[in-house]
């Protein structure tokens, strides 16, 4: 390990994932302020909601580090969840650094890069579990943890100014069913060497006790599934391969063949098989094939547990799935939790299934059919006890999670706690940890395949139109500004009733537009801009009177 010069600093800079759950994008920098080298840890996405109509995928804004792209030594991925790797295919062209990942994560990422046509360009270096990656002043050791996906890694990042334990997502699962248990020895060894800072998962900081084990889920699911008649569907996260494996084993015990329904289910199964998991299970049925089996001999493992509208389960609930149908006497097990924000779509989905006569089994009425992948308070306490960091840096949480995590670490006698927001540059050493700078951070929206700023014009207009409707006004003028035809008015997304029918409303709006045009003075009548502004203003004002709202008004002037 080289020694540090007096000018050297070690900094931690989250550009995503701090003050939110999702979109993890963390940077570590080493060197003097004018010559830092960087590593990126994780590059994930978050998802849109009803406030972002038409936008499903949201990325962290990489502008700050893009300007220092040639100083990025590597992008290290902790595990294959979307909130940790989902943005790589979008943002790699701006960063262009080599990517390091363990085999399962590398497999999942390669599929994404292939779709983005980047597979030949991006360099993925596969790091075996438990191996080390040397990147300039950063010596990184992968530490095997347990979570809700194969191959979750914590990173021990050793630098000349001290070591950081970057946990990534984790829990302590004594029996994860697939993959190794938490490498407690490696964490304790690091603790013995001395840990400067621990950058740690805060998702379940409000939950007492422990998250529980995948082995317990198997014990619960097995008798439950064996006892069910009719068709059985199980919804879970495709990336939870241990769960997929448990459900498949329960299905086999019940004399049912498993049919994977949904693209991400089949993709994750392929990724799992590529690293030697799920080898001894009977082959999965194709959707089409499953139709020839009697109901009690099939189990459908479905995507869509969060009520995602285009996922398999939503289509089954709508009765529009081409190969799978559920009805009276059938069962749907939700082996998943409700992610905050998804309550309404999940409830709608469950209501539709219930309406078809499907019996629903959820975590609420059947405790133990799901466990979380994130550490609860007793597990956090264990981790602090093993690693013994000088500084606690909570991440992977909303503001309230991060602050609660700080208080929790304080109670555990961790000397210093600091909870940065995205864009806060935290100096970890030398000296006391402190926020020394604030750099640009934010979000980029994937809108119809185009990357747009989060407050971009297109989405603003769309939102405005969604709430207020649209009115279009068109008029044809001759060279001197005399009306040849129109104004013609159309309204979209605006209600009318028998007392004031649509034709009358449109006539009145057209009159307002015409009068506004008539009021224009000589030279303004020759300027299209002035005409458009005048007509649009008049129509907005009239709309306000008619509907009490201001629709998007689009005016067109044609000259002949």
Residues that bind Zn ion (CB under 5 A): 81, 83, 169
Least separation in angstroms between residue 297's CB and Zn ion is 34
**CA distances in angstroms from 44 to 22, 62, 86, 424, listed in the order given:** 7, 11, 4, 18
Residue 170 or 284 with smaller CB distance to Zn ion: 170
To Zn ion, the closest distance from the beta carbon of 527 in angstroms equals 55
CB of 203 to Zn ion, least distance (A): 7
Cβ closest to Zn ion, residue 8 vs residue 169: 169
Q: In what order do the strands lie in the sheet with 257-261?
A: 257-261, 298-302, 232-235, 331-334, 359-361
Least Å distance, CB 152 to Zn ion, is 7
Cis peptide before 430 (omega within 30 of 0): yes
> Min. distance of Cβ 160 from Zn ion in angstroms?
30
Beta carbons of 275 and 150 less than 8 angstroms apart: yes
Phi-psi group of 424: left, alpha or beta (phi > 0 → left; psi -120 to 50 → alpha; rest → beta): beta
For residues 244 and 316, which CB has a smaller minimum distance to Zn ion in the complex?
A: 244
Separation of alpha carbons 168 and 154, rounded Å: 5
Containing 522, the helix (H) or strand (E) segment is none
CB nearer to Zn ion: pick between 83 and 214: 83
Listed residue (409, 408, 443) closest to 423, CA to CA: 443
Q: What is the DSSP string of 10-73?
A: EEEEEEESBSBSS--EEEEEEE-GGG-EEEEEEE--EE--TTSTTEEEEEE--HHHHTTGGGEE
109 and 77 in contact (C-beta within 8 Å)?
yes
- To Zn ion, the closest distance from the beta carbon of 17 in angstroms equals 8
- For the record, the structure tokens of 214 come out as 């995948």
- For Zn ion, the closer CB: 152 or 191: 152
Nearest-angstrom CA–CA distance, 500 and 494: 13
**Between 83 and 330, whose beta carbon lies closer to Zn ion?**
83
What's the closest the beta carbon of residue 405 comes to Zn ion, in angstroms? 15
Q: Which two tokens stand for residue 63?
A: 């502008």
Q: Which is nearer to Zn ion, 29 or 86 (CB)?
A: 86
For residue 213, what are the CA distances in angstroms to 183, 372, 386?
16, 9, 20
399/460 with CB nearer Zn ion: 399
Q: Say if residues 19 and 425 touch (Cβ distance below 8 Å).
A: no
Tokens of 333: 């097990």
> How many whole angstroms from its chain centre is CA 509?
44
* Residue nearer to Zn ion on the CB measure, 100 or 300: 100
- Whole-number minimum distance, CB 82 to Zn ion, in Å? 9
Smallest distance from the beta carbon of 259 to Zn ion, in angstroms? 26
Is the CB of 203 or the CB of 543 nearer to Zn ion? 203
Least gap, CB of 28 to Zn ion (angstroms): 18
* Distance in Å, CB of 444 to Zn ion, minimum: 19
Least distance in angstroms from the C-beta of 44 to Zn ion: 7
Tell me the C-alpha to C-alpha distance, in Å, between residue 455 and each of 137, 154, 341, 539: 38, 35, 21, 26
Of 169 and 287, which CB lies nearer to Zn ion in the complex structure? 169
- E strand map for 276-352: 298-302, 331-334
Taking the least distance from each CB to Zn ion, the nearer of 81 and 427 is 81
Query: Dihedrals φ, ψ of 158, to 5°?
Result: -95, 135
Give, as one character, the DSSP assignment of residue 283: P
Q: How far is the CB of 508 from Zn ion (least distance, A)?
A: 55
Nearer to Zn ion, 146 or 441 (CB): 146
Q: Distance of CA 388 to CAs 198, 368, 382, Å?
A: 9, 32, 10
4 C-beta neighbours (distance < 10 Å), count: 18
| 485's tokens | 């035809």
What sign for the dihedral angle of Cα 106, 176, 167, 393? Answer: positive
């Amino acid at each position: 390990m080289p020694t540090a010069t007096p000018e050297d600093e070690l900094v931690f800079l989250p550009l995503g994932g701090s003050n939110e759950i999702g979109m993890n994008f963390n940077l570590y920098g080493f060197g003097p302020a004018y010559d830092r080298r960087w590593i990126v840890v994780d590059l994930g996405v978050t998802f849109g909601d009803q406030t972002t109509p038409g936008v499903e995928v949201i990325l962290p804004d990489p502008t700050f580090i893009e300007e220092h792209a040639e100083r990025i030594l590597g992008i290290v991925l902790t595990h294959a969840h979307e909130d940790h790797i989902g943005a790589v295919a979008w943002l790699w062209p701006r960063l262009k650094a080599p990517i390091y990942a363990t085999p399962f994560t590398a497999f999942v990422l390669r599929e994404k890069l292939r779709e983005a046509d980047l597979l030949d360009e991006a360099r993925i270096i596969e790091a075996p579990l438990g191996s080390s990656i040397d990147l300039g002043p950063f010596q990184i050791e992968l530490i095997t943890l347990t979570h809700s996906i194969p191959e979750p890694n914590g990173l021990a990042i050793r630098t000349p100014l001290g070591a950081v334990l970057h946990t990534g997502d984790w829990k302590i699962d004594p029996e994860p069913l697939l993959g190794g248990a938490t490498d407690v020895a490696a964490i304790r060894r690091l603790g013995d060497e001395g840990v400067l800072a621990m950058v740690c998962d805060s998702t379940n900081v409000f939950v007492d006790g422990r998250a529980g084990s995948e082995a317990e889920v198997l014990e619960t699911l097995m008798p439950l599934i064996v006892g069910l008649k009719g068709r059985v569907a199980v919804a879970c996260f495709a990336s939870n391969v241990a769960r997929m494996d448990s459900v498949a084993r329960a299905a086999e015990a019940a004399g049912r063949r498993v049919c994977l329904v949904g693209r991400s289910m089949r993709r994750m199964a392929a990724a799992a098989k590529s690293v030697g998991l799920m080898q001894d299970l009977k082959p999965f049925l194709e959707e089409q094939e499953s139709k020839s089996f009697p109901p009690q001999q099939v189990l459908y493992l479905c995507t869509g547990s969060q009520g995602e509208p285009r996922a398999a389960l939503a289509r089954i609930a709508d009765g529009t799935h081409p190969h799978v149908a559920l009805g009276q006497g059938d069962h749907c097990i939700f082996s998943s939790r409700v992610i905050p924000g998804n309550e309404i779509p999940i409830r709608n989905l469950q209501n539709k299934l219930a309406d078809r006569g499907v019996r629903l089994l959820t975590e609420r009425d059947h405790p133990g059919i799901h466990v979380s992948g994130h550490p609860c308070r007793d597990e956090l306490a264990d981790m602090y006890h093993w690693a013994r960091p000088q500084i606690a840096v909570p991440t992977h949480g909303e503001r309230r999670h991060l602050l609660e995590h700080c208080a929790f670490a304080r109670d555990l006698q961790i000397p210093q706690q600091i909870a940065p927001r995205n864009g806060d540059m935290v100096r970890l050493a030398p000296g006391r940890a402190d926020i020394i700078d604030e750099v640009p951070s934010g979000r980029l929206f994937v809108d119809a395949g185009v990357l747009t700023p989060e407050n971009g014009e297109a989405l603003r207009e769309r939102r405005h139109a969604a709430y207020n409707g649209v009115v279009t006004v068109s008029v044809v003028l001759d060279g001197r500004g005399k009306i040849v035809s129109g104004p013609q008015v159309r309204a979209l997304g605006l209600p009318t009733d028998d007392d004031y029918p649509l034709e009358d409303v449109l006539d009145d709006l057209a009159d307002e537009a015409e009068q506004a045009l008539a009021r224009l003075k000589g030279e303004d009548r020759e300027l299209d801009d002035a005409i458009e502004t005048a007509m649009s203003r008049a129509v907005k004002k009239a709309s306000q009177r008619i509907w009490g709202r201001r629709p998007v008004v689009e005016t067109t002037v044609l000259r002949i």
